[in-house]
């Protein structure tokens, strides 16, 4: 099946857009939107209309619909809105058939009567769908089997190959139906505007879950938790799977009983799982084998099903992402070098929570030489974990009064402060003044109340997003066997921006600006001036984005790329909002270092803050990928730069990406595609050939020039 976007689908499952509106005009508008969304057909919910003239309105809907039509006139007794005469309702459905409808949905309760009434009158391509809806309970396997028999006995044209489950738990049935041969699934035009609970949007089906490319051999991965709908894991992994060309899909899995879930979904088609609250500790018992580190921690956040025999292997990647993020924050705060050893060594590290994430952070901090204290609502659980790792224990009630020293580290691993309970915090603000760094494993919202108040007291803050991304890197490699750096796309990290701005004394800005301008002009005294500028910068009581940019630009233009990146990371931890000047300087530093990993992270932040529409930023992105020897990503960034706004720098950056990676055939094509071949473009080509010993090509280009 060739879908509207031109991409060949790997499966025959149709996407049906439910059309619900109170007027015919609105329905016609929505049908056009469904066509634009690349839906395959529309379900027209007649019971949503306020005023309905059957003959006239059905004619309009059928003639003006650009897609095949499925008509539903759902009665109240089956979960719909129609509460009128039953004979009139069925007459309307028969009329729709006569006027050219492609499908009619009729309820099992009246299906025998309806199908008997249209015997011998059905158009050749017309089909009847017989449906049954159960909003009260989940039927047993035996009950489902009996239901299948009943529907088949009605003479329906399409019998139970449309099996969809309601609500959040049923989301996987709406996505994975394409893997298991489902006839159609429903996708809405807008989030929340649904004809049944749990329907995803068409946009999510196509772009988040890559629905058209799922098939019988697609491997299923998911995030197991309760709650789980807030998790951004599907965004991250599905984008990475798509970039890697890996045949997998990642879904939310709302699970009550982990052992029963793993026993039920025992097929090797369900190849791996991320594990979150509250199942990390239980997962240790459910796996056939557990990695020694995960066993030491007592928690598993990654489960892999071995394809040869279906055995489950458990790992823990939480501590890697969280501890690395905390160390980065401390190094930025104290301007420490990573070569000096872990900044956690000797620090008092307070962990809130004794669950799976708490165990991981306590283990990781202890491994780095920190002195660990566990605080938990239940003191006995805190003491149990403290005994295992060799630390101390507190009750959560006593934590606010616990301050044996200044400069402590605080890590919240509970769900306190997670959406929707964003006004909650595990610690009173006044107690946070004793901590130099505060980490919160919660990342929805990115800046929790705990982090906001910690920042106000002067602490460095680290968001749970850093932990989420860090642990995901290792899980991706375990899921796919592929190197993560090459495939995790910057778009996977889109998060809401956060900023705090303070007033900056005008005299500080003037002095700093004067110094940075002199740095650019007077290279011979650069080292002395940059040191002076940084000292002045560090003494400033408040810094806005202009101040940070002045310092960043100085480092970048003097090719002090490591210092520039270090300053950018420090800027992030202060939550000063970056702008396009910030990102241009930082990308230049990534380019200078050839740091692909840092470059992709900066690219992700650019998208998060909405600066990808700025031409200088886009040009810097292309240049960064070119210098990091990734011409494919450079080309993608080039294509995303509107043709009307591209300039010579855009073209030259792309040209350099191909020439720098030795792809001279494509470089030649790009060179001759350029609207204007400026001198820089000629130099890029000649230098590229010269570097690769292609003397004759250099001479040929020089002659052409």
Q: Which residues are catalytic?
A: 280
- State how far the Cα of 619 lies from the Cα of 270, in Å rounded to an integer: 42
Among candidate residues 327, 322, 346, the one with its CA nearest the CA of residue 440: 322
- State how far the Cα of 696 lies from the Cα of 705, in Å rounded to an integer: 14
- State how far the Cα of 580 lies from the Cα of 621, in Å rounded to an integer: 12
- State how far the Cα of 280 lies from the Cα of 472, in Å rounded to an integer: 15
Residues 6+ apart with CB under 8 A from 183: 13, 14, 158, 161, 162
**What angle is formed at CA 225 by the lines to CA 222 and CA 229, rounded to 5 degrees?**
80
Tell me if 438 sits within 8 A of 461, measured CB to CB. Answer: yes
Distance of CA 319 to the CA centre of its chain: 21
Q: In what order do the strands lie in the sheet with 460-462?
A: 392-395, 371-376, 348-352, 408-412, 435-440, 460-462
Q: In what order do the strands lie in the sheet with 289-290?
A: 248-254, 219-225, 270-275, 302-305, 312-315, 289-290
Q: What share of the chain is helix, strand, coil (3-state, %, to 5)?
A: 50, 15, 35
Helix, strand, or coil here: 283?
Answer: helix
**What angle is formed at CA 232 by the lines to CA 491 and CA 181, rounded to 5 degrees?**
95
Kindly state the DSSP code that residue 681 receives in the 8-state scheme.
H
Tell me if 522 sits within 8 A of 485, measured CB to CB. Answer: no
Among candidate residues 628, 626, 636, the one with its CA nearest the CA of residue 659: 626
Among candidate residues 273, 226, 230, 227, the one with its CA nearest the CA of residue 250: 273
User: Tokens for 419?
Assistant: 């959406």
Q: How far is CA 308 from CA 254, 269, 476, in A?
A: 27, 12, 20
């Amino acid at each position: 099946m060739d879908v509207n976007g031109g991409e060949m689908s790997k499966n025959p499952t149709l996407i049906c857009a439910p059309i619900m509106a109170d007027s015919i005009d609105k329905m016609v508008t929505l049908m056009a939107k469904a066509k634009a969304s690349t839906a395959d057909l529309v379900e027209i919910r007649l019971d949503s209309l306020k005023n309905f003239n059957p003959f006239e309105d059905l004619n309009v809907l059928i003639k003006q619909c650009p897609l095949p039509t499925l008509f539903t006139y759902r009665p109240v007794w089956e979960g719909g809105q129609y509460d009128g005469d039953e004979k009139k309702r069925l007459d309307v459905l028969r009329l729709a058939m006569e006027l050219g409808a492609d499908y009619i949905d009729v309820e099992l309760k009246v299906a025998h009567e309806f199908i008997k009434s249209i015997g011998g009158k059905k158009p050749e391509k017309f089909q009847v769908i017989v449906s049954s809806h159960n909003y009260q309970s989940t039927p047993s396997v035996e009950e489902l089997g009996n239901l299948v028999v009943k529907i088949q006995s009605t003479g329906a044209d399409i019998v139970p190959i449309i099996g969809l489950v309601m609500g959040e738990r049923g989301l996987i049935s709406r996505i994975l139906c394409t893997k298991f041969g489902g006839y159609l699934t429903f996708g809405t035009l807008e989030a929340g505007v649904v004809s049944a609970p749990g329907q995803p949007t068409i946009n999510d089906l196509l772009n988040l879950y890559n629905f058209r490319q799922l098939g019988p051999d697609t491997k299923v991965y998911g995030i197991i938790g309760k709650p789980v709908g807030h998790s951004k894991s599907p965004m991250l992994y599905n984008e990475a799977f798509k970039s890697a060309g890996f045949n997998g899909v990642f879904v939310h899995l709302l699970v009550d009983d982990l052992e029963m879930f793993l026993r039920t979904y025992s097929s090797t088609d369900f190849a791996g799982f991320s594990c979150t609250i509250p199942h990390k500790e239980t997962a240790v018992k459910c796996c056939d084998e557990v990695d020694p580190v995960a066993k030491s921690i007592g928690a598993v956040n990654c489960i892999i099903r071995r394809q040869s025999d279906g055995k489950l292997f458990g790992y823990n990647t939480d501590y890697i992402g969280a501890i690395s993020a905390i160390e980065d924050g401390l190094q930025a705060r104290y301007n420490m070098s990573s070569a000096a050893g872990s900044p956690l060594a000797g620090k008092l590290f307070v962990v809130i929570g004794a669950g799976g994430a708490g165990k991981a952070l306590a283990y990781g901090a202890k491994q780095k030489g920190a002195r660990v204290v566990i605080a938990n609502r239940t003191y006995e659980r805190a003491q149990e974990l403290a005994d295992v790792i060799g630390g101390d224990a507190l009750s959560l009630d006593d934590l606010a009064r616990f301050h044996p020293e200044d400069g402590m580290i605080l890590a919240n691993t509970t769900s306190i402060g997670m959406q929707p309970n964003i006004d909650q915090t595990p610690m009173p603000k006044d107690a946070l003044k004793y901590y130099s760094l505060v980490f919160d494993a919660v990342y929805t919202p990115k800046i929790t109340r705990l982090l906001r108040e910690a920042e106000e007291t002067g602490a460095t803050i680290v968001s749970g997003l850093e932990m989420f991304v860090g642990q995901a890197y290792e899980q991706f490699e375990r899921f796919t066997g592929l190197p993560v750096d090459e495939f995790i796309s910057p778009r996977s990290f889109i998060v809401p921006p956060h900023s705090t701005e303070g007033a900056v004394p005008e005299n500080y800005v003037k002095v700093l600006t004067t110094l940075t301008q002199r740095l650019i002009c007077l290279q011979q005294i650069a080292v002395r001036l940059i040191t002076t500028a940084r000292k002045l910068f560090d003494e400033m009581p408040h810094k806005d984005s202009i101040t940070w940019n002045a310092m960043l630009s100085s480092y970048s233009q003097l090719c002090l790329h490591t210092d520039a990146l270090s300053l950018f990371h420090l800027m992030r931890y202060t939550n000063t909002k970056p702008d396009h000047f910030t990102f241009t300087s930082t990308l230049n530093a990534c380019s200078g270092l050839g740091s692909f990993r840092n470059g992709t992270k900066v690219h992700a932040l650019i998208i998060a803050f909405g600066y990808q529409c700025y031409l200088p930023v886009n040009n810097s992105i292309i240049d960064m990928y070119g210098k990091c020897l990734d011409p494919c990503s450079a080309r993608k960034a080039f294509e995303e730069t509107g043709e009307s706004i591209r300039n010579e720098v855009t073209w030259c950056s792309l040209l350099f990406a191909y020439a720098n990676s030795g792809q001279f055939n494509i470089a030649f094509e790009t060179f001759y595609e350029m609207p204007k071949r400026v001198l820089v473009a000629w130099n890029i080509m000649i230098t590229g050939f010269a570097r690769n010993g292609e003397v004759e090509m250099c001479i040929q280009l020089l002659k052409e020039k």
